[in-house]
């Protein structure tokens, strides 16, 4: 009899251990994630994620609208799986300013006497069916391929989430708060590698309401906006004395084939360098501005222009084309180690070796506008320094992937390289940038 009781006790202990440790009786309730910013426009579905180690058995979504309670989604199916994503559609005839969603989920575990583990989560949503009020206050009349422009806009919404200018459906330009509440200003660009241009003011609130307003810019198609095709011959001297040196400075392996050496510098290294420059020149640091002023840039007075912005460069070696690149600045030449001047106030954000650009200096001038000075032989300022008009900031050189001493001068707007000749022209700056911003300020007043 005693042995029987011992056997029964062991069976009870074994059964208890099985229940406690078996995956069939897992004890963790489902995890419920309701993806929302706390707002709804009643149009966009609310996404709900359900996760559980043993699998989801059932769920219920209850809508509480004032004194009314309604089940708007439910399911009871032990084969739904461990990860369930719901797209909850809300009734569009809701009149209340606020609603509440309660989500309940039960897993397939045998815990709690085969009833499973239950979890519940709720969220309160503010109902906002009104899209932001967005309009263009003033903008530059025209823009050319590779060029820059200005825009001042007005955006108002109590639940505003984001507002920006979208170029060609993929380039986002940040808006900077300007002068009075609800007004914003931005410099934008037409990337030289894009054949077409379109600019749209986009405003979105937390409820998911979006408004898009076209910004009218005429396309400027003549003059400096027609980049030339240039044929450049590469020889063994350049590959051995210049290209190899760039790869060594970059800490990269050197191929055995001379063509592959040049291609690695002109394509792989260039891509790395331009990505880094874009990253450095993308931020807009101002939280708000009341005005904006910029003078013409003339970093190398008395120099001669040796290469244009947007040049389509075809590189040849022993009569065969081996590589291609688009030039992202203008090349200016004077005498060796010529003084390079700052023409506008700004802050140095980089002074370092950047591959094909050699020893490069990058200065921020405000509102997302940057200037780059490449191939320098000597820096006169360091990162973090404030520069002022008339200061000598560097000297020209032949560092990087170059044939001789000169200055590569680049201008960037929020990470996009733009035509430097525009920013070297005082009339263009006044007409297309300063008058637009100042004119908008007078309208706002």
Residue 163 φ then ψ, to 5°? -150, 135
Contacts of 133 (CB under 8 A, 6+ apart): 154, 155, 156, 157, 211
Q: Exposed/middle/buried for 93, CB within 10 Å: 0-12, 13-18, 19+?
A: exposed
- For 378, the enclosing helix (H) or strand (E) is strand 378-379
CA dihedral 398, 403, 407, 413 (to 10 degrees): -110
| CATH class belonging to 27-127 | mainly beta
227-414 matches 133-222+440-444 in CATH topology = no
Q: Domain 133-222+440-444 is classified in which CATH homologous superfamily?
A: Immunoglobulins (2.60.40.10)
Contacts of 112 (CB under 8 A, 6+ apart): none
Answer for the pair 127, 42: CB distance below 8 angstroms, yes or no: yes
* Fold entry, domain 227-414: Glucose Permease (Domain IIA) (2.70.70)
Q: Exposed/middle/buried for 374, CB within 10 Å: 0-12, 13-18, 19+?
A: buried
Residue 113 φ then ψ, to 5°? 55, 50
What pLDDT sits at residue 18?
45
User: What angle (nearest 5°) sits at the alpha carbon of residue 342, between those of residues 302 and 423?
Assistant: 75
Q: What is the pLDDT along the chain (445 residues), one digit of tens a residue?
A: 555 555 555 455 554 444 444 556 788 999 999 999 999 999 999 999 999 999 999 999 999 988 889 999 999 999 999 999 999 999 988 989 999 999 999 999 989 777 899 999 999 999 999 999 999 999 999 999 999 999 999 999 999 999 999 999 999 999 999 999 999 999 999 999 999 999 999 999 999 999 999 999 999 876 556 778 999 999 999 999 999 999 999 999 999 999 999 999 999 999 999 999 999 999 999 999 999 999 999 999 999 999 999 999 999 999 999 999 999 999 999 999 999 999 999 999 999 999 999 999 999 999 999 999 999 999 999 999 999 999 999 999 999 999 899 999 999 999 999 999 999 999 999 999 999 999 999 999 8
- Beta sheet of 176-177, edge-to-edge order: 133-139, 148-156, 183-189, 176-177
Q: What would the pLDDT profile of 270-303 be if each residue is shown by its tens digit? A: 999 999 999 999 999 999 999 999 999 999 999 9
CA-nearest of 418, 423, 393, 144 to 294 is: 423
Question: Can you list the pairs that 166-169 forms with residues at least 24 positions away whose Cβ atoms lie under 8 Å?
Answer: 166/199, 166/200, 166/201, 166/202, 167/191, 167/197, 167/198, 167/199, 167/200, 168/194, 168/196, 168/197, 168/198, 169/198, 169/200
pTM listed for this prediction: 0.90
What pLDDT sits at residue 404?
93
HSE-up of residue 424 (Cα within 13 Å, Cβ side):
19
Taking the domains of the chain in order of start, what are their residue ranges? 27-127, 133-222+440-444, 227-414
């Amino acid at each position: 009899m005693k042995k029987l009781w011992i056997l029964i006790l062991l069976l009870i202990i074994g059964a208890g251990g099985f229940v406690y440790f078996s995956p069939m009786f897992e004890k963790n309730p489902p995890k419920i994630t309701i993806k929302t910013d706390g707002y709804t426009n009643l149009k966009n579905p609310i996404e709900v994620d359900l996760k559980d180690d043993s699998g989801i058995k059932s769920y219920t979504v209850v809508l509480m609208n004032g004194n009314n309670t309604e089940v708007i989604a439910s399911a009871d199916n032990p084969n739904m799986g461990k990860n369930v994503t719901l797209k909850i559609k809300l009734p569009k005839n809701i009149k209340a300013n606020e609603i509440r969603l309660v989500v309940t989920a039960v897993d397939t575990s045998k815990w709690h006497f085969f009833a499973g583990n239950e979890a519940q989560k709720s969220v309160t949503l503010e109902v906002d069916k009104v899209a932001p009020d967005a309009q263009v206050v003033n903008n530059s009349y025209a823009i050319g391929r590779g060029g820059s422009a200005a825009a001042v806009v007005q955006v108002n919404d109590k639940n505003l989430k984001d507002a920006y200018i979208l170029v060609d459906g993929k380039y986002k330009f940040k808006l900077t708060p300007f002068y009075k509440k609800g007004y914003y200003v931005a410099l934008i660009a037409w990337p030289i590698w894009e054949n077409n241009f379109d600019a749209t003011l986009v405003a979105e609130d937390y409820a998911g309401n979006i408004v898009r307003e076209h910004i009218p810019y005429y396309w400027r198609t003549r003059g400096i906006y027609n980049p030339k095709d240039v044929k450049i011959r590469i020889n063994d001297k350049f590959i051995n004395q210049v290209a190899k040196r760039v790869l060594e400075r970059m800490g990269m392996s050197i191929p055995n084939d001379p063509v592959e050496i040049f291609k690695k510098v002109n394509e792989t290294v260039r891509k790395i360098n331009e990505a880094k420059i874009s990253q450095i020149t993308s931020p807009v640091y101002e939280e708000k501005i009341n005005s904006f002023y910029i003078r013409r840039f003339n970093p190398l007075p008395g120099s001669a222009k040796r290469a244009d912005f947007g040049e389509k460069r075809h590189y040849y070696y022993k009569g065969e084309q081996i590589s291609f690149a688009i030039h992202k600045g203008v090349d200016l030449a004077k005498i060796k180690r010529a003084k390079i001047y700052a023409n506008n106030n700004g802050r140095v954000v980089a002074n370092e070796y950047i591959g094909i650009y050699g020893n490069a200096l990058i200065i921020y001038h405000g509102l997302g506008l940057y200037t780059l000075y490449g191939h320098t032989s000597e820096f006169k300022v360091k990162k973090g320094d404030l520069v002022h008009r008339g200061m000598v900031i560097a000297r020209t050189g032949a560092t990087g992937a170059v044939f001789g001493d000169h200055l590569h001068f680049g201008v960037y707007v929020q990470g996009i390289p733009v035509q430097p000749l525009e920013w070297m022209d005082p009339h263009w700056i006044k007409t297309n940038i300063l008058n637009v911003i100042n004119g908008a300020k007078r309208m706002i007043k």
